[in-house]
């Protein structure tokens, strides 16, 4: 296997695994905090039991997320040493802040786990709130680092001497892409994790297990899903406009847009043929791509033909991933609107069909997250630092990366099975039912 391909497979597998735990680490503490607040306010023991169930889930996901995140930091240095040599001093600040947020999260999680009946109740609740805040901050900082790779700033670069100078870490951290990318990521994390929680508890409701307990769990998670799913299309629109300005070739790859066009059509579905620069079986909506990209139905949208072939990203993978992400986001928007309609109509209970929909949607949010990150990372290729350093230039000269890639794939499969078993065990314990 080619070393560059092997390194990309290993890094992609690591990111795909870790991002799930990063999302859960941002959202589950917020659900735990909300449930504990409900218990303090109502003294309903069901909320306390729900808090402790989610608390143990947070601990499991935090531990595995810490391991996979640590492995990622090592991989950056081992697989991409040239990248870290030059980029480390520039965008290291968000990484250091992310580390600080991680340590805060660990400290407050420890207080919450072992603080029952040991610290004042309000302080105990605040510790759970701090776990949630630290998790979100951690996600923002790490997304800022990734955004810098898409919109490098805070330095000067001489393409002849390859020297980086006038480094400004603050400007690097608050690059042009960080706000839109961080907002989109945080909303995606809340949407994906909350629907997963709702889906699991909906499945148990459909089975007739602990109806009061599981409906209370859904009631707590539902506002997080509704708000994030309703805001996500707005965030996506801002992100698309940002990409159209900064990375037009990524937009062209996402849309399989080969030819520069005035009043460009939006493509739904379709299979692109990169060699012939055509798309089969797609549905085109006239002028919509120009409207969504620039707010003008007559705006010119650059096609891939405008860029040298060696600097074009792949088309098939970003296009399909983008379609998956947008499709799931649209589905979540429709489900949210229907759910809000039922709430406004003051329905005392949801119909069983809605619980079935929730249950079927359990994995879809995480699929959308994976698709979104695929668009972000593959759509930036062949650059690891956009327009500054190519991915091939950052690669380690070490041979035998294929063996390392296979080992890491095995490791993550093992960790995935282990976490699934631990999670299943916790759900089974707190439901008091042999699932």
What does the pLDDT look like over 407-431, one tens digit per residue?
A: 888 888 888 888 888 777 777 666 6
For the segment 230-283, what is each residue's pLDDT rounded down to a tens digit?
A: 999 888 888 888 888 888 899 888 888 888 888 888 888 888 888 887 888 888
Domain ranges of the chain: 3-260+302-431
Q: Which of 195, 297, 196, 188 is nearest to 235 (CA)?
A: 188
Which of 4-13, 347-356, 415-424 reaches the highest mean pLDDT? 4-13
Report the predicted TM-score, pTM, of the whole model to 2 decimal places: 0.88
Q: Give residue 1's pLDDT.
A: 64
8 Å CB contact between 225 and 336 = yes
Q: CA distances (Å), 307 to each of 148, 213, 245, 313, 401, in order?
A: 22, 57, 15, 10, 31
Give the pLDDT mean for 390-409. 84
d(C-alpha 172, C-alpha 86), whole Å: 13
Q: Is the pLDDT of residue 187 over 90?
A: yes
Q: Which of 317, 366, 417 is nearest to 16 (CA)?
A: 366
Mean per-residue pLDDT of the chain = 86
Give the pLDDT mean for 385-408. 85
Q: Give residue 281's pLDDT.
A: 85
Cis omega before residue 216 (within 30°)?
Answer: no
Give the pLDDT mean for 96-109. 86
């Amino acid at each position: 296997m080619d070393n560059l391909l092997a390194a990309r497979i290993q890094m992609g597998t690591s990111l795909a695994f870790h991002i799930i735990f990063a999302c859960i680490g941002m959202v589950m503490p917020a659900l735990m905090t909300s449930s504990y607040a409900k218990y303090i306010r109502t003294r309903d023991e069901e909320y306390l039991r729900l808090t402790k169930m989610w608390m143990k889930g947070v601990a499991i996901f935090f531990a595995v997320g810490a391991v996979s995140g640590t492995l990622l930091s090592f991989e950056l240095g081992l697989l991409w040493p040239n990248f870290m040599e030059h980029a480390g001093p520039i965008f290291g600040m968000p990484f250091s802040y992310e580390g600080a947020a991680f340590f805060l999260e660990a400290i407050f999680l420890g207080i919450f786990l072992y603080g029952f009946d040991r610290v004042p109740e309000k302080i105990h609740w605040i510790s759970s709130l701090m776990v949630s805040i630290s998790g979100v901050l951690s996600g923002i900082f790490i997304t800022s680092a990734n955004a810098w790779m898409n919109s490098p700033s805070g330095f000067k670069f001489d393409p002849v001497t390859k020297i980086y100078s006038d480094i400004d870490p603050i400007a690097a951290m608050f690059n042009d892409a960080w706000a839109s990318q961080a907002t989109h990521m945080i909303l995606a994390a809340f949407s994906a994790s909350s629907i997963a929680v709702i889906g699991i508890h909906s499945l148990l409701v459909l089975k007739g297990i602990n109806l009061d307990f599981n409906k209370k769990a859904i009631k707590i998670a539902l506002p997080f899903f509704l708000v994030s799913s309703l805001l996500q299309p707005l965030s996506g629109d801002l992100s698309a406009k940002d990409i159209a300005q900064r990375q037009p070739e990524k937009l062209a790859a996402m849309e399989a847009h080969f030819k520069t066009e005035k009043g460009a059509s939006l493509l739904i579905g379709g299979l692109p043929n990169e060699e012939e620069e055509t798309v089969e079986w797609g549905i085109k909506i006239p002028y919509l791509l120009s409207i969504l990209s620039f707010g003008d139905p007559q705006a010119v949208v650059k096609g891939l033909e405008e860029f040298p072939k060696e600097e074009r990203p792949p088309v098939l993978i970003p296009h399909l991933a983008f379609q998956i992400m947008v499709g799931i986001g649209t589905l979540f928007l429709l489900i949210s609107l229907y759910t809000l309609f039922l709430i406004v109509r003051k329905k005392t209970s949801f119909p069983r069909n809605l619980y079935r929909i929730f249950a079927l949607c359990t994995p879809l949010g995480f699929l959308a997250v994976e698709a979104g990150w695929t668009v972000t990372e593959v759509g930036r290729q062949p650059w690891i630092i956009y327009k500054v350093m190519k991915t091939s230039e950052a690669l380690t000269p070490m041979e035998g990366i294929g063996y390392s890639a296979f080992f890491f794939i095995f490791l993550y499969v093992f960790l995935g099975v282990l976490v699934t078993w631990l999670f299943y065990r916790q759900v089974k314990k707190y439901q008091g039912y042999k699932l």
